[in-house]
Amino acid sequence: MNNIVKVITFAFSLVIIAACGSPDHSGGTGTLEYTVVKSSGVNLTAAELQMSPSSGAGISVDLLDALQTQNSIGGIVSLEAGITMVQAGFISDGREVKKTYMIRIEPGKTSQLEILLIDSDFVPFEKLWVHGSAVSPAGNALEMTRSGNTFRWAGSLQAGSFRILADIHNPSPVTSSTFMPAVNGTLAGDTEQPMMYSPGIVGRGDAQWSISQPGYYRITVYPMTMTIRIQTVSAQTTHGRAPMYWTVYEYHREREVEPGFDPNNNFIPESVFKQNIDWVAEHLLPYGFDMVCVDGWGGGGYIPTNINGYRTTHSVSWVHDYAYWSAYLQDKGMSLGMYWNPLWVDHVSAVSGKMIWNTNIPISAVYDINDVSEWGFRWVQVDRPGAEEYIKGCVKYYADMGVTFLRVDFLSWYETGFDHNMGNVSRTDRPRGHYETALRWMREACDEYGVYLSLVMPNLVNEAEHEKVYGHMYRINGDTFEGGWRRLSRDNRGERRFDIWPQFENPFDGFVYWSQFVEEGTAIMDGDFLRLNTFTDDEQRMTAVSLMVMAGSPIAAADRIDSEKYNAADMLPFYQNDTLMALAREGFRGRPLTHDYSIAATDNQIWIGQAANGDWIVGLFNREDTDQTRSIHFADRLGITSGRVVNIWTNSNEGIRSELSVNVPARACRIFRISEES
């Protein structure tokens, strides 16, 4: 049983859902079924475990010690409780081997958790405990799943204590000075510290924190140096906050439009990819940009797939695969975003006999060689056995390597087979129920594996009836392409294509209309990428960023450090306005005074919304080519008589006002924070 990790969970007054069996609703000791997973992904038998599910006979001394440890800190249970086994995962980043875990902590969820990891083949560990505690209302569930080299808790803990214990395998003689004292303080951000040696327990490392701020945390254990690193990470699996990330889009787009360029050989070199990752980590991560996302293109030859037919890398010209770059990003406190559509079938994988994940069904069984669109997209036949497993297996494959974001493109081509520029591009008689089924399977898998689902090129039929339900976010405008003011505001202004992608060409019109369907906890509007270098002046750049924040859209930076056409440092101040970015980080969403997207309407250029602390945020935009006056009366629109006004971009105090009437230059905006005066 090499590289097998044994995991124990325990609970008091809460529901725990095991991998097998039903929830236990008892208020005290809980009894759980157990499931065991080999490296190959198949179940082990109780005989292989030498364990009886009813008596617990044959449990190792290490496991019994763990149960005693649980009892010593006020825990549990009986020997049947919560025995689950999952595959071990290790990463090497060139410095040393490490283990990584992720935990989410937010109010109103789960209770106590203890994980025991045993891996006798891995020096220096014999045991590792991860322990967190908090108060929980009864009835909440906590599940732990493996995601590549990261163990993810699908439930969450409230703010409370957090503790890591590690036993060293065959330690050399140690003294109390071997490890520095643990920091028993408050976790308020990223931190790294050596573990404390506990006299009387040979080789025991101990590190403790109290967690005061709900959020997501990544825990990395460096066993060789007995160091613990804790990093805050984003809440990518909730609707509440739109992603903030950097995308490779501009690199590919600029190459794509070069005269004579081969579109089948458009890949970003790994050296350039790394250069931009490092730049983002240094300059954008501190402001909330905690993901780097790949996009389409690639090429350079046939791109290999894994045993279940899923792409493993961006290009055959890459030395490393996606898993490598996911680990590289995780070590910098970020994650990898993936561009792929789980409905796509790789022809070579289908005809070579590869099998659908978690089945004995060949990929060819869900493949129709005649169902192919322009540009060679081949589609899953969702009405055939194995289709659900193929789609969900795709999500799991990328989640297992630590991917937190899936950007699913060309949805309109699958749904109706029609493109407003190209005409019929794919099958046009597909039952619409197939589209909904595919989206539902994607969302179910994304929820299970902690992935944020982004729907791209959707038709948004019947007021986005399916996309609002199944997407975490959905695109509301055409592609960024060459960027600039034209793509942000001017293209096809005031025009709508009903039930055809894209219904609105520019994001401003799209936000104005679709914001009426966006409420707290529902799917987010996606205005596509920002190429700030393509705007002609700083007023336009401020307007582009402000619009995305006011609409609650993702902030997807495409400007890059490797460009020879502009200085990337000139773009940074617009992504580094921390007052504005703080709104994005907290999940702020505003709305226009009207959802009328016609050119004649001017109230659609005035946006309002409330920040988490109750302050009002007011955005006064000017889409016109001449200066305009924008006005708002606080009592009428905000429901307050007066407030202290601060200009967010200049950080200037405008005093206490009861209204605003501002001259806004052409193609510009003014964004204000208003704190009510009692």
Given this model, what pLDDT does residue 513 score?
97
**Max alpha carbon distance in the chain (Å)?**
81
**Rounded Cα gap, residues 66 and 130, in angstroms:** 12
pLDDT at 451 over 80: yes
Q: Between 397 and 141, where is the model more confident?
A: 397
Least confident of 137-146, 297-306, 511-520: 137-146
Residue 252 confidence (pLDDT) above 50: yes
CB atoms within 10 A of CB 105: 23
| pLDDT of 73 higher than 80 | no
Higher-scoring residue by pLDDT: 466, 150: 466
Please give the backbone phi and psi of residue 413, each rounded to the nearest 5 degrees, phi first.
Answer: -65, -35
Amino acid type, 182: A
Average the pLDDT over each of 84-98, 178-192, 557-571 and give the range with the smallest value. 84-98
The candidate with the shortest Cα–Cα distance to 100, out of 226, 17, 273, 222, is: 222
The rounded mean pLDDT for the chain is 72
- How far is the C-alpha of 504 from the C-alpha of 420, rounded, in Å? 12
Given a cut of 70, whether residue 22 has pLDDT beyond it is: no
Range 427-431 average pLDDT: 96
Residue 31's contacts (CB-CB under 8 Å, 6 or more residues apart) are: 24, 77, 78, 80, 81
CA 541 to chain centre: 26
- Give pLDDT tens digits for 101-113: 333 333 333 222 2
pLDDT(88) > 70 = no
- Give yes or no for residue 552 having a pLDDT over 90: yes
- Phi, psi (degrees; rounded to nearest 5) at 49: -80, -15
E strand spans, 24-111: 83-87, 91-92, 97-105
Q: Which fold would CATH assign to domain 603-676?
A: Immunoglobulin-like (2.60.40)
- The answer on pLDDT for 241 being more than 70 is yes
- Which residue matches tokens 């590792």? 128
Cα gap 297→249, rounded to integer Å = 10
Q: How many CB atoms lie within 10 A of CB 658?
A: 13
pLDDT score, position 677: 87
Residues 380, 384: Cα–Cα separation, whole Å: 9
Sketch the domain layout of the chain as residue ranges.
Answer: 4-233, 603-676
Q: What is the pLDDT of residue 330?
A: 87
**Structure-model confidence comparison of residues 245 and 1, the more confident one:** 245
Res 6: pLDDT: 25
Q: Determine the pLDDT at residue 261.
A: 82
Average pLDDT over residues 403-407: 94
pLDDT attached to residue 448: 80
Structure confidence at residue 240 (pLDDT) = 61
pLDDT computed for residue 492 by the predictor: 98
pLDDT tens track for 503-544: 999 999 999 999 999 876 678 999 999 999 999 999 999 999
The CA distance from 174 to 201, in Å, is 10
10 Å Cβ neighbour count for 601? Answer: 15
Give the per-residue pLDDT at 157. 32
Does the pLDDT at position 285 exceed 80? yes
Q: Strands 161-168 and 204-211: what pairing?
A: antiparallel
End-to-end alpha carbon distance in the chain: 67
Lowest mean pLDDT among 20-34, 312-326, 434-448, 492-506: 20-34
How distant, in Å, are the alpha carbons of 6, 547, 628 from that of 666?
Answer: 63, 15, 7
pLDDT at 521: 63
Residue 672, pLDDT > 50, answer: yes
Q: Give the residue, 300 or 569, on which the prediction is more confident.
A: 569
Judged against a pLDDT cut of 50, whether residue 380 lies above it is answered with: yes
- What is the rounded average pLDDT of the residues 609-627? 95
Give the containing element (helix H, strand E) for 163: strand 161-168
Check whether 29 has a pLDDT greater than 60.
Answer: no
Q: What does the alpha-carbon distance between residue 272 and residue 281 come to, in Å, rounded to a whole number?
A: 14
Query: What is the model's pLDDT at position 615?
Result: 93
Task: Write down the H helix ranges in 186-335.
Answer: 249-256, 270-283, 322-331
Residue 516 phi, psi dihedral angles, 5° rounding: -70, -15
pLDDT the model gives residue 129: 30
Residue 145, pLDDT above cutoff 70: no
**Residue 150: predicted pLDDT:** 31
Q: What is the pLDDT of residues 324-358, one digit of tens each?
A: 999 899 888 899 999 999 999 999 999 999 999 99
**Residue pair 517/547 in contact by the 8 Å Cβ criterion:** no
> Residue 457, by phi and psi: left (phi above 0), alpha (psi -120 to 50) or beta?
left
pLDDT tens-digit readout, 257-281: 888 888 778 999 999 999 999 999 9
